[in-house]
Structure 1
Amino acid sequence: MDVVIAPDEQIGEIVADDIAALIAARPDAVLGLATGSSPLRIYDAVAERVARKQLSLARARGFMLDEYVGLPPGHPCRYSTVIDEDFVSRVDFAPGAVRGPDGDAADLTAACTDYEESIGEAGGVDLQILGIGTDGHIAFNEPGSSLASRTRVKTLTAQTRADNARFFGGDIDAVPRHCVTQGLGTIMDARRIVLVATGDAKAEAIAHLVEGPVSARWPATVLQHHRRVTVLVDDAAASRLELADYYRHAHAHRHLVS
């Protein structure tokens, strides 16, 4: 696991560099897209490069991590709506190139199976973007999730619903109780993972992710077993890392393979 501690304003550019390098090597690459506030700096940086004709996602594809159950298409808080506004509509993906799980399906179990299969048929995710919840969840894999889980329906914790109430006008009762989410096993299949976290509220989760034991209590800790994962955090999110000075030293003196 590589830990990069950088100013908030630099994090988006760092990941945009990685995406640009991936697309240069493989124009039809598959990106894993997260919603929420953490990835916004990445999407802004990528959108700026597309606008300047420095990068094109015209042949790339994308898969979303999760979706609320029961929100109809077009609902402003439905994640398919959010990712379109935050990213897809700002770049040059081909129509239909970005897909998310169907939280409005009549048969949710079948929809989960179909989504899992569609990722495999696309060849898998080349680069997965992740955020992290204050309770250590990634996607909507809440504490207690199986570390080998696949795409499925999950019940959201009270903490997650409270954290997300700000997107629903502060009304926690408007936040759905269920979601469809990629499982931890599904996420771990990605060839590369980049997790972004900023702010004091994420410091405890980051400390568990990077330096704690692997445990279903903190689902993100499964990433310690991934062969190629980068954690990008600002000083606030890194504030509880005991080895923060080493991570800064290692990044400053990293060995670059030609």
Structure 2
Amino acid sequence: MMSDDLKNVHVFPSVKEAGYAAGRAIEAKILTLQQQKSQIRMIFAAAPSQDFMLEYLTRSEKIQWHKITAFNMDEYVGLAADASQSFSQYLERNLFSKVSIHEKHTISTSGNVLDQIALFSELLESEPIDIVCLGIGENGHLAFNDPPVADFNDPDVIKLVELDLVCRQQQVNDKCFSDLDEVPLTAVTLTIPTLMRGDALFCVVVGPHKKEAVRHALRSPVSTTWPATVLRQHGNCQYFFDDEAYSDVAVIRA
């Protein structure tokens, strides 16, 4: 289903249907790019909301993964490199181990974080980013750009940030951590301008715990109070929601 007044908003009865629809749209974009470019550069979020989208993509028989270079968009500081909660491990489990990707670049925070920031900045700026697959946090964050640190004109490509309480609690709500005390206090994240420079953005947001963030993202004034509002200023961003995530917006529209 498509929203009447937001033609880039797609709403589905279930989490799986929303994820698979996003997967189909991303696949279609990749197939077009495969005809135009020898290499495609993509940035991936790592969160439960992305599960079904990634499942669809890894099952595609049409995507030429040997043409794709992948980046992750954020990573905790303070976790062991092989911790199951790390975003690089999430992408390894759900994507990289299932396809023959050309190159994968994941943020390492086990060594000198500033060195990694410099390296990742260079990698990201070497060529344009074609596709960004992202979600929206309960506090409206994009990657780990929580409201206190979000900057729509950020001069950095990637930066070290402190995570706010709502963001850290979300990681417990998502069952990534069993207790708030286990969630790291800091992380490295791509900045909002870096994400917005992607040519095509595909945003998957599901579940009742995201409905307030979705309502603000689509209806509130564009500001860092709800960072995801800035997505409305991108010329090619598609949203994929399940009914529960979209429910507050649907009430307003009624």
Counterpart CA distance in 2 for 1:174 and 1:82 is 17
Preserved CA contact (<8 Å) 1:206 1:237: yes
Counterpart CA distance in 1 for 2:216 and 2:194 is 21
2:3 match:
none
2:215 match:
207
Return the letter of the residue paired with 1:127.
I
2:169 match:
162
Change (3 A) 1:7 1:127: farther
- Is 1:40 paired with 2:45? no
How far is 1:244 from its partner?
7.3
How far is 1:100 from its partner?
1.8
Unaligned segments of structure 2, at least 5 residues: 1-5
Preserved CA contact (<8 Å) 1:102 1:180: no
1:98 match:
104
Counterpart CA distance in 1 for 2:195 and 2:63 is 26
Counterpart CA distance in 1 for 2:94 and 2:171 is 17
Determine which of 147, 154, 178 is the counterpart of 2:152.
147
Counterpart CA distance in 1 for 2:40 and 2:120 is 18
Return the letter of the residue paired with 1:132.
I
CA RMSD of aligned residues (A): 1.8
Preserved CA contact (<8 Å) 1:125 1:189: yes
Percent identity reads 26
Counterpart CA distance in 2 for 1:245 and 1:10 is 22
TM-score by length of 1: 0.86
- Is 1:5 paired with 2:23? no
Unaligned segments of structure 1, at least 5 residues: 247-258
Change (3 A) 1:245 1:6: farther
Counterpart CA distance in 2 for 1:158 and 1:10 is 31
What aligned pairs does 1:80-99 form with structure 2 within 5 A after superposition?
80-94=88-102, 97-99=103-105
Preserved CA contact (<8 Å) 2:19 2:240: no
- Is 1:61 paired with 2:65? no
1:129 match:
133
Number of equivalences: 238
Determine which of 192, 216, 236 is the counterpart of 1:184.
192
Return the letter of the residue paired with 1:114.
L
